[in-house]
Each structure stands twice: as C-alpha cells, then as structure tokens.
Structure 1
Amino acid sequence: MDKEKQARESIINPIDPDKIAASPHNLPYAHTVGGVEIRPIDKGKVKGRAVKAMYKQTDMQLGQIKKQIELLAEQAQKIQDRIVVSEQIYNAQMNFEPLIGFTYHLYERKGAEEYVLSMVSPEEWGPNPPYRFIATVEMLADHTWDVLRMHDEG
C-alpha cells in the first residue's frame, strides 16, 4: 500500500492550480470546450419583448371589455324600446283583454297620435292597412311587454 501512496504522490499534475476553478458551475462562462455558451442578457430585447407582450395582452382585454360594453348598450337600448312601446300600449285603445303569452300588434292611427293594440298582424291587413305598424309584442307573465319586432326591422 505504501507503494501506491508513493506512486500517487509522485504524479505531477500538469494543470496549473491557478487555472482550476474550485466550483466551475458558478463561473459566468463555459468552463469546458463542450459547455453551453453563456452570453450576457440583452436587457433592451428582454424589456422590448415584455412590453410587446403587455400591449398585446392589454389590447385583447380592452377588446373584450369593448364587446361587453357594446352588448350592455344593446341590452339597454332594448329595455328602452320596451319602455317606450309599453307606454304606447298602455295608452292605446284596446277592445279586448290581452292574455299572457299571446302575440299582439301595436299600431298608430294615421294622422293622429293615437295607438291601437290589435290581434291582427300587419301582413293580414293587405295592401292598404288602416294604421301604421309600430311593433309586434308579447305580454309576459309580469304584465310587461316583450318587443318581438319593431316597424323598422321589417
């Protein structure tokens, strides 16, 4: 055993101890020929990509909010239309009691601002209707009116 120990001690290391790293994994560069190339980070590119991603994400979210606003505006307009038509219906001449779940048609007398609620659809009047068509409506269970069709929708 002493011979082995002497043999180990007699081997001279050809590598300069000043050129050997104690912990090469902490070096800021590759320490072997086959090591991964390590480059300094280009902070401008990193920030540029991050800003671009941020704008893309926020534009997408703003687009979603815009669609929601448009939907809410459309819903508000429909409610406003219901209010106007409901007021016209409750001020209209009715020769019958409207029933829940049935479809009725609101007309305006030609030349007067008087309204008529009828069971006759605009198509049933023929080519010369006596009234101007306003809306087709249905009475809901809470006695409000659902506007199924307005005069400008055809």
Structure 2
Amino acid sequence: MKNKKPDNVVYSVEKGFNANVLPYATNVGAPVISVGDVVSWKSRGIDNVNKELGNKFNELKLQYQKLMQEYEWNELVYSAKFSFEPVIGEIYHLYRDAEGVNFLSLIGPDEWNKEHIGTFKLNSDKKWILLNAQESQLY
C-alpha cells in the first residue's frame, strides 16, 4: 500500500505523470469534455447532399427527355418522303397523306387541307427544330 497513489493523481509506472497529454479530464477542475452532436450534423449533411444530387438527377432527366424528343422528331422528319434538298434556315411543314405516309412540304397548313403534323426549321447542324406541332402529334 505504500506505493499506492491517491485516485486524483494521474500516474502510471510506464509513463509517469502524464495528465497533460491525456485526451480526457483527469481532475475535478478540468474543463468538461463533451462530444458534439455529430449525428445531427451528419444527418443534415446527408439531407443536403441528397437534395442536391436529386435536383441534378432531375435536371439530367429533363435534358434526356428533351434530347429524346428532339431525336424522335428528327427521326420522323428524316424518314418522311420529300423530293427536294431542304435549305438551311427555311421553314418546312410535315404532313400525313391519306395512306398514312409522312411527307415534307413548303406549303403551309393554312394553304391546303392536309393532316398537318408539325412545322420545322432546318439548322446548320442539319437538325430539324420543331417550331409548331399539333397537340395530337406530341409525344
């Protein structure tokens, strides 16, 4: 019992008096060590990241849908029947004839009585830009 130190003295045989390097308080007068609320911080961080990623996903999804719609319109126009070389920047009209065959024309929908599918403009990249479409023809 002679070598026993009191409980409030921090001493070890291997390291000696080492209270100043310990990660915890060693006496009554030491400052309180409290663990921060890391769980709520993580939860808020996860929520923020999930919202941001969700927003980016929705933006990409809308861009994809728009791209697919452009692709489908271009596919429809390029597969249509026409016997002329379209000029870049001109406006063309896509129609469906009585047999159900699509054809491209310069004649506007007000000038004759054919089933009008849509109005398009050819850009410099040879992509057909939809200017106007009938409600029943929209994808």
How far does residue 102 in structure 1 lie from its aligned partner after superposition?
2.6
The structure with the greater share of residues assigned to helix is 1
How many residues of Structure 1 are paired with residues of Structure 2 in the alignment? 111
| Change in 2 beyond 3 A, CA 1:28/1:60 | same
Give how far 1:130 is off: 1.8
Distance 1:132 1:89 in 2: 13
CA separation of 1:76 and 1:115: change in aligned 2, threshold 3 A: same
Is 1:29 equivalent to 2:12 in the alignment? Answer: no
- Corresponding residue to 1:137 among 111, 117, 120: 120
Measured on the aligned residues, the alpha-carbon RMSD in Å equals 3.0
The partner residue of 2:42 within 44, 49, 54 is: 54
Unaligned runs of 5+ in 2: 1-19, 21-26
CA 1:64/1:148 → structure 2, altered by over 3 Å: closer, same or farther? Answer: farther
TM-score normalised over the length of structure 2: 0.60
The higher radius of gyration belongs to 1
Matches within 5 A, 1:1-154: 29=29, 40-43=32-35, 46-47=36-37, 50-94=38-82, 96-109=84-97, 112-122=99-109, 124=110, 129-133=113-117, 135-152=118-135
| Structure 1, gaps ≥5 residues long | 1-25, 31-37
4+ runs deviating over 6 angstroms: none
TM-score, with length taken from structure 1: 0.55
Letter in structure 1 aligned against 2:29: Y
Tell me how far apart the structure 2 counterparts of residues 121 and 67 of structure 1 sit (CA, whole Å). 41
